[in-house]
Structures are given as structure tokens and as C-alpha cells.
Amino acid sequence: MAEAKLFELNNGTMKVNVSNYGCTITSLLVPDKDGKLADVVLGFDTLEPYLKGASPFFGCIVGRVANRIKDGKFTLDGIEYSLPINKPPNSLHGGHKGYDKVIWEVAEYKQGENPSITFKYHSRDGEEGYPGDVHITATYTLVSKTTMRLDMEAVPVNKPTPISLAQHTYWNLAGHNSGNVLDHTIQIWARHITPVDHNTVPTGEIMSIEGTPFDFTTENKISSRIHEVGLGYDHNYVLNCGDEKLGLKHAARLKDPASSRTLNLWTNAPGMQFYTANYVNGIAGKGDVVYGKQSGVCLETQGFPNAINQSNFPSIVVQPGEKYKHSMLYEFSAE
């Protein structure tokens, strides 16, 4: 069996450590307005806690289907499939052993000015209850001094199957060790969300966010109205009004006012889970830092949650021989 390892992507300005275990970003260093580097992702110093299941999806790629599938059931072409109920009463992020908990093969690893690493994984028919074999690749590339790109592709071999991958990094642009992210500002290029029931599964409605605590169409502090949304934000935004670049839509702009570090995120996915780490509670992370509630923010671009059971949501079913493509561009700056 292949072993879990760490690989570095370093272009002299930014530095990323990523593992073949779950395609997991374990650290990512970018400069602030004074050129000072900080590690802006939550995680662990070694791979052991990831391997032992201590991670609440820090930094990894999740699949075969990201987010929740209601009651862990769906029907496709007249066949009902049952999935592991790993977040009762639903199936979450691919089941008990999703793509975040497997060792991917390193297909290519390039150093130099635009360093990159490509991971590949063969997901088997019946794995975690999902139909059909799927060939998957994920490539991280440092495309410029402070920009990272992730390209995910998946091709079903022999059966139609739902596919929706997501990158689950928890960001804290002040530095992973700097406490909560409530002072960060965010702008999200979405005018609607998919509201959820008491089990965090979308009801099927597409709801306008105008005038609600979910409205980040203009830049605002995360803390501005978070107290009005229960535990915090954990909602899928419908990305439909961002400008385009390189075939990707502007999804979000996250900023830490203290350091001026800014992350502009671009994607071709239809949705984005905005999650404020509401369930992170006292996890011992890097450098003996204890991560508390809301110590990071996830910007998980994705197909809509439970889309396989909601006919009015964009379909996540991919046919054999077709190619699922999901790209994300992470542009860091100090504005």
C-alpha cells in the first residue's frame, strides 16, 4: 500500500504543502502588505491526526459527492442506492471513507516557476455505495506569484453516477493561529441561497437573500449579522452574478483587515458552501494552537447539496465517458 506523504509547491513567494492523502492542503503561506508570510490554513503539523480521523475535513478534497445527501438515499435510472449515514440522518462528503480519507497516486510532480502536482484516484463501483467506476484527477498549480489553481476532473467508466467534488480548506487570512475569523470581511457574488431544513439539507427552494443576514452582495464583516443565523453560516450560495475570467466566475472575496491579506476565489461550479467552522471546538492544531469555533472559513465551490434528489437543482449526474470538470482559482493579494 502506498504511504501518505507531503509535497511542497514553492515559487519563491508562496509556499504550499499538500499530501497525497485526500489531496489535503496542510499549510499555505502567503505574504501580507509588509511581505510577512503567514500560514493561512487550519491543519496539523504531521499527517498522523489526518490518518487517525481527527480532522473535520481540514484542507482536503471531498467526494464522490460533497455535502449532504438526504437520508443517504437516491434513485438513478430506476435503481435505488443507499449510502453510509455518517452524519445522521444524512450522508456527508462521500461517506465514512470518502476521497479525503484515501491515498491518491502522484501522477506528476513538477518544480520550477509554476510548480504543480497531479493526483489521481480510481474510485470503484460500489465504493461507499456509489454506482460505477470513476477515474479522478486533481492538479494543484502555482500559476503566478500569489495564485494557486485547482483543476479536478472525473470520468465515469461504466455507469452514470452523481459527482460533485469540493475543496474543504479552512481559511484564516490573519494566520491559522490568530483566533476567530469574525473580523474578516467577505463579498459573495450570489443573490440567492438554497435554504435548509433542521438537518441542514436544502428544502429545494431558491431564496433571494436581499435584506437578509445572508446578503454579502456587498463587502461586509462576517460578524455583522452572524448571530441571526443560529450556529453560524453553513449555507450553499447560488453563484450567478460574478464577472468572468479564464472561463471561471468570481465567487467570493475574503479579506483580513489587520494584515490586508485578501483571497479572491473564482470557480466554474454553480454553488459555494459558505461555512464558518461552527462545529470546530477545541481541536489541537499546528504549533499547539487550539482551534475554537469560527477559527476558519470554508469556501467550498460545489454542485448544490442534495442535488441528486432535487430535480430543480442543476444536475450532478455524469454519464460514462463524459467528463466532470471543476476548477478553482485562489488569488491572494494584500490590498
Q: Residues annotated in the binding site, as ranges?
A: 67-68, 168-170, 234
Give yes or no: 219 in active site: no
Q: What is the 3-state secondary structure (H, E, C) of the chain?
A: CCCCCEEEEECCCCEEEEECECCCEEEEEEECCCCCEEECECCCCCCHHHHCCCCCCCCCEECCECCEEHHHEEEECCEEEECCCCECCEEECCCCCCHHHCECEEEEEECCCCCEEEEEEEECCCHHHCCCCEEEEEEEEEEECCEEEEEEEEEECCCCEECECEECCEECCCCCCCCCCCCCEEEECEEEEECECCCCCECCCCEECCCCCCCCCCCEEHHHCHHHCCCCCEEEEEECCCCEECCEEEEEEEECCCCCEEEEEEECCCEEEEECCCCCCCEECHHHCEECCCCCEEEEEECCCCHHHCCCCCCCEECCCCCEEEEEEEEEEEC
Q: Catalytic: which of 168, 176, 235, 326?
A: 168
Tell me the C-alpha distance between 280 and 294, whole Å: 7
Tell me the C-alpha distance between 189 and 172, whole Å: 20
| Among 299, 286, 331, 296, CA closest to 26 | 286
Give yes or no: 105 in active site: no
Q: Catalytic: which of 176, 300, 326, 331?
A: 300
Binding residues for beta-D-galactose: 67-68, 168-170, 234
Kindly list the catalytic residues: 168, 300
